[in-house]
Structure 1
Amino acid sequence: MKFTAIIIGATGLTGNILLSQLLEDARYDKVVTLSRKQIDNNHPKHYNHLADLFDPSTYKEFLKGDHLFICTGTTQAKTPNKEEYYKIEHDLPLGVARVAKENAVRKIITISALGANPDSNISYNRGKGEMERDLEDLGFEESYFVQPALIGGKRDEKRPFESAWKKFQKLIDPLLFGALKKYRTIEPETIASAMIYIAINAYDKNRIESDELVEIGSRL
């Protein structure tokens, strides 16, 4: 059986790597991306549709397949307005997922964050937790939330604080073991590989923390 994947957020760091991995995966014969900007990837399995993800009428007919990968997100530095930030982090994935459910997509795999908790006192973790909770409540056959720690790799956009933190994190990563191992930097390629493994094979829990993603990603 061949699968059709749909990705939102394929222009981001992890989403773009996920796109490349899915296109090279023989178990998928079609990969649909929905994006505001054109994605310059002419692979014969790739179907890119320009869409306003806040407006279902621009993408509903294209959002059809087996596995929906949600890789959207922003930063508070890039989107300082709290309402706009919440719309991108919470409302956008929820709106797309609702349409996917209506279109009989069976499974969603969403990038969240380590520490996501709707009851957290930290606004970032609380927002991610609310997103997880509300997506899960939609009632897909299978819903998975990958929870990476700090994501490595180079981004096109400049993020000075994140770059500085990554340098510091590299120094302390070797000191993080046991229960602290999940706080080590994780590479976007590892996250993407883990997401594909989970989509194809399922998993015995639907919230998967960073250290477990590393182990799963090595299986692909």
Structure 2
Amino acid sequence: MKVIITGATGMVGEGVLLECLQNEKVSDVLIVSRRHYDLQHPKLKELLVPDFFNIEAFAEQLKIYDACFYCAGISSIGVKEDAYTKITYDTTLHFAKVLLGLNPNMVFNFVTGRHTDSTEQGKSMWARVKGKTENALLKLPFKGQYNFRPGFMKPFKEQKNVKAVFKPIIFLYPKLFSASSLTMEQVGRAMIKTVTNGYRKQILEVSDIKELSRNS
């Protein structure tokens, strides 16, 4: 399969990318980023797009792909709701709609977060906005559309984009809280399997991601 990945300069996108590069079911990977990701690999191509709202200008490079693993995003800490909505909801929906027009048989996976609020009515700003984004994506007629709600994710050893604050708990947290913990390998493998096998749910919690990642 041929896969587009966003967010490779962040921890989740980088982890999904590394799994795709080592997975035999993936033949080609295009990372779409605002900043350069320094890695050379025979499967890998890079498309630098300074403004995702102008993604349609790069339509020719985005055609004939089987899946998009949308891992781009920002932390909500210190960000006002309108700014967070523009990046999380507006940008994602615009990107998805452009890809849908180019690749109607595509599977589109979106990384949200544990405790995302599907009602869009809760007190947590980030959870409401993520829920609004999930709900809007679910209405788009992709071949498959899945929303990943991971908890803690242990990165690959070779990952470069891991925030220093997480490093002290990388090995401790999964041992203490295994039910809410995943590895980036599991997340990447589960994403790939949504393309090859699909899944019975469109919103995937930690337990679903673990189940789907097995034997992929």
TM (normalized to structure 2)? 0.84
Deviation at 1:137, TM superposition (A): 1.3
Assess if the C-alpha contact under 8 Å between 1:109 and 1:199 holds in 2: no
CA distance in structure 1 between the partners assigned to 2:212 and 2:14 by the alignment: 19
Rounded Cα–Cα distance in structure 1 between residues aligned with 2:172 and 2:5: 32
2:21 to 23, 28, 31: 23
Q: Indicate whether 1:75 and 2:79 are aligned.
A: no
Q: Distance in 2 between matches of 1:86 and 1:165?
A: 30
> 1:56 maps to which residue?
55
Aligned residue in 2 for 1:178: none
**In the alignment, which residue of structure 1 is the partner of 2:8?**
10
Deviation for aligned residue 1:201 = 1.3
Given that 1:53 and 1:59 are in contact with CA atoms closer than 8 Å, whether structure 2 keeps it comes out as no
Equivalent residue number for residue 207 of structure 2: 211
Report SS of the residue matched to 1:85: helix
Aligned pairs, number: 208
Q: 1:46 to 1:156 in 2, by over 3 A?
A: closer
Residues 89-104 of structure 1 aligned to structure 2 (within 5 Å): 89-104=88-103
Name the structure 1 match of 2:146.
Answer: 144
Q: Measured at CA, do residues 171 and 138 of structure 1 come closer, stay the same or move farther in structure 2, by a change above 3 Å?
A: same
1:39-92 deviation digits (Å, cap 9, x = unpaired):
222212211011121222443222221111111111123x62332221121111
Cα distance change of structure 1 residues 133 and 12 upon mapping to structure 2, 3 Å threshold: same
Q: Secondary structure at the match of 2:27?
A: strand
Asked whether the 8 Å contact 2:113–2:150 carries over to 1, the reply is yes
- Amino acid paired to 1:83: D
Contact preservation (8 Å) 2:31, 2:44: yes
Structure 2 alignment gaps of length 5 or more: none
TM-superposed CA distance for 1:172, in Å, is 4.5
Q: What's the TM-score once normalised by structure 1's chain length?
A: 0.83
User: Taking every aligned residue pair, what percent have the same amino acid on both sides?
Assistant: 25
By relative contact order (CA 8 Å, sep 6+), the higher-ranking structure is 2
CA RMSD of aligned residues (A): 2.5
Question: What corresponds to 2:191 in structure 1?
Answer: 195
User: 2:201 is paired with a residue of what secondary structure?
Assistant: coil
How far apart in 2 are the matches of 1:168 and 1:44?
A: 35
Secondary structure of 2:19 counterpart: helix
